[in-house]
A and B are shown apart, each in its own frame.
Chain A
């Protein structure tokens, strides 16, 4: 890997205008594959979910999954697309062992949905409209394991091993029109678009759209043109950028790289590039030349899809409240800013907060824990909030314990820590760790007496009217009670016992 010269981001943007195209693949959450009845459950033994159809054995015939079609139409409608009245599948022919059929069943010039848009909210609340070119149906490929190379990559491998469990799982590929006019905010627009699309897919309940599991994958196409020029520059295609943060970083890196190449008098080669999670860089992959010839033709083993208009309208009527509309509503209900809502969205916390409120927690408390303590835990462990191991109901229980006075915030944090460590539910952790605010006045009084006795000099200062010194005694009491006292009550007791007015 050679070290690539990069232009500074500001300098790149002062000379060039970025144009992006985003291609997102979404793996649908159907029970079975797109063209056969094999299960799609993740984590099965290699090659245990295949059949003659998805293995491409002679004589087998594909039959379309009805939910696959329905999901594609729902996605199209939610993206404000027109839905084809008649369309076909096509064979995309290529030589690569990830598809045993030697072609991928896809759609070519007759996508099921086309001409739409998605409005996305940027960090500051500005709405940017991303135009959608098309959404078409296709199938996923098998998983390759490259053996014998240094890093498990295909280069240098001695041979490869194929698991076809994933081959044939339905995919929807959503392609934007060229995104122009975003300027310096292009990387932010890219990230916001993918985030919004993910929310939309989840709201439609057609996929869990978990990027870290490859259920949603993004290709970032980017080119630069000098300001004022209409014609697009040559683009690079950065493949498989699989987190929101990476989408933003990949776009940013490519802007800086293209600018450096162009400024030094070079030309951009149309090629695919690989994104590297470790340092946010991209490196060259295949050069796209004319040798790429997929020889698309209509799939002769499948009949056309002609969605009836009343079915399409029925699906349109059944669409859920769309995420951006819902967020606007929740923003008002929770009384928070655009920016706070955007943070909750980026953290994947909106549904969790909503569920916590539904479980009885006040909105501000629900938001405080998910966006504070739990977001921190998520950052530290690299796990998504939803996978941390604490449920909205459990968070609601913690807020209830704080509200009734049996926990203070410090203890509540320890309870959450215990739940995350797998010690059980909140009540169980309270019980096991003995985490209760000391409300026994006798015990508290004894602790105060002990602290005064041990800190006679401090006590004298307080008696002499130096109330600021009370903090040291309160600290000593908290220490004696292992943080389980109500600090306000301790202060009252300290002052009372020393005979001073608070």
Chain B
């Protein structure tokens, strides 16, 4: 069993900026354990002759020519922004006081 700990879930939560309650840490640790366990079983099934893969299609070198295609207008780009200012995406304070 992989054994995901509460501390690891808390760490992931911090990295993902998710505020997790104590009972959620236990709950998610259990769930993640099951998921990781399921993935681990796939590794067991794959023999030496099956290379690890990160893509479903056996393709390489899919490229496009360096040709400009139309972009969105700034108004379109900003249309989904929760807030904007000076034609830019407005985001809350990133760092607090030094």
Residue A298, interface by CB 8 Å: yes
B residues in contact (CB < 8 Å) with A: 11, 14-17, 54-55, 57, 59-69, 71-74, 77-78, 80, 85-95, 97-98
Interface majority SS (helix, strand, loop, mixed), chain B: loop
A71 to chain B, nearest CB (A): 10
Measured in the bound complex, the distance between the Cα atoms of B90 and A157 in whole Å is 12
* Bitwise interface map of A from 72 to 99 toward B, beta carbon under 8 Å scored 1, else 0: 0000000000000010100001011100
- Which among A66, A100, A160 is the interface contact of B94 at CB below 8 angstroms? A160
Contacts of A67 in B (CB 8 A): 65-66
Residue A410, interface by CB 8 Å: no
B88 touches A161 (CB 8 A): yes
A contact residues, range: 35 or more
B79 to chain A, nearest CB (A): 11
B71 touches A50 (CB 8 A): yes
With A159-B92, A298-B54, A300-B55 already in contact, the answer to whether A50 and B77 are too (CB < 8 A) is yes
Contacts of A297 in B (CB 8 A): 54
With A156-B98, A303-B57 already in contact, the answer to whether A295 and B15 are too (CB < 8 A) is yes
Measured in the bound complex, the distance between the Cα atoms of B71 and A32 in whole Å is 11
* Bitwise interface map of A from 114 to 154 toward B, beta carbon under 8 Å scored 1, else 0: 00000000000000000000000000000011110000001
Measured in the bound complex, the distance between the Cα atoms of B7 and A349 in whole Å is 58
Interface-central residue, B66, B68, B74, B86, by most chain A CB under 10 Å: B66
B91 touches A162 (CB 8 A): yes
Of chain A, the residue at the smallest CB distance from B63 is: A66
With A31-B68, A39-B68, A45-B74 already in contact, the answer to whether A162 and B60 are too (CB < 8 A) is no
B71 touches A31 (CB 8 A): no
A-B contact pairs, 14 of them (CB 8 A): A31-B68, A47-B87, A51-B69, A57-B80, A64-B64, A65-B66, A66-B63, A154-B94, A157-B93, A162-B91, A300-B54, A300-B55, A303-B60, A303-B61
Measured in the bound complex, the distance between the Cα atoms of B60 and A298 in whole Å is 14
Measured in the bound complex, the distance between the Cα atoms of B81 and A100 in whole Å is 11
Measured in the bound complex, the distance between the Cα atoms of B72 and A36 in whole Å is 12
Excluding A65-B66, A161-B88, 4 further A-B contacts by CB distance (< 8 Å) are A45-B74, A49-B71, A67-B65, A96-B94
With A45-B87, A161-B88 already in contact, the answer to whether A303 and B94 are too (CB < 8 A) is no
Residue A63, interface by CB 8 Å: yes
A38 touches B71 (CB 8 A): yes
Of chain B, the residue at the smallest CB distance from A86 is: B60
B56 to chain A, nearest CB (A): 8
Docked complex: A271-305 residues within 8 A CB-CB of B: 291, 293, 295, 297-300, 302-305
Contacts of A50 in B (CB 8 A): 71-72, 77
Contacts of A88 in B (CB 8 A): 54
B94 to chain A, nearest CB (A): 6
Residue A55, interface by CB 8 Å: yes
A303 to chain B, nearest CB (A): 4
B46 to chain A, nearest CB (A): 16
A46 touches B74 (CB 8 A): yes
> How many residue pairs at the A-B interface have CB separations less than 8 Å?
138
B17 touches A304 (CB 8 A): no
Measured in the bound complex, the distance between the Cα atoms of B15 and A293 in whole Å is 8
B67 touches A32 (CB 8 A): yes
A451 to chain B, nearest CB (A): 65
Residue A379, interface by CB 8 Å: no
Residue A439, interface by CB 8 Å: no
A65 touches B77 (CB 8 A): no
Contacts of A362 in B (CB 8 A): none
Measured in the bound complex, the distance between the Cα atoms of B14 and A433 in whole Å is 70
B60 touches A306 (CB 8 A): yes
With A32-B67, A46-B86 already in contact, the answer to whether A55 and B77 are too (CB < 8 A) is yes
Contacts of A300 in B (CB 8 A): 54-55
B54 touches A299 (CB 8 A): yes
B95 touches A304 (CB 8 A): no
B64 touches A37 (CB 8 A): yes
Residue A332, interface by CB 8 Å: no
B32 to chain A, nearest CB (A): 14
Contacts of A161 in B (CB 8 A): 85-86, 88-91
A-B CB proximity, top 6 nearest? A37-B69, A298-B54, A161-B88, A66-B63, A67-B66, A162-B89
With A48-B74, A306-B60 already in contact, the answer to whether A95 and B17 are too (CB < 8 A) is yes
Residue A2, interface by CB 8 Å: no
Residue A215, interface by CB 8 Å: no
A303 touches B71 (CB 8 A): no
B62 touches A159 (CB 8 A): no
Residue A487, interface by CB 8 Å: no
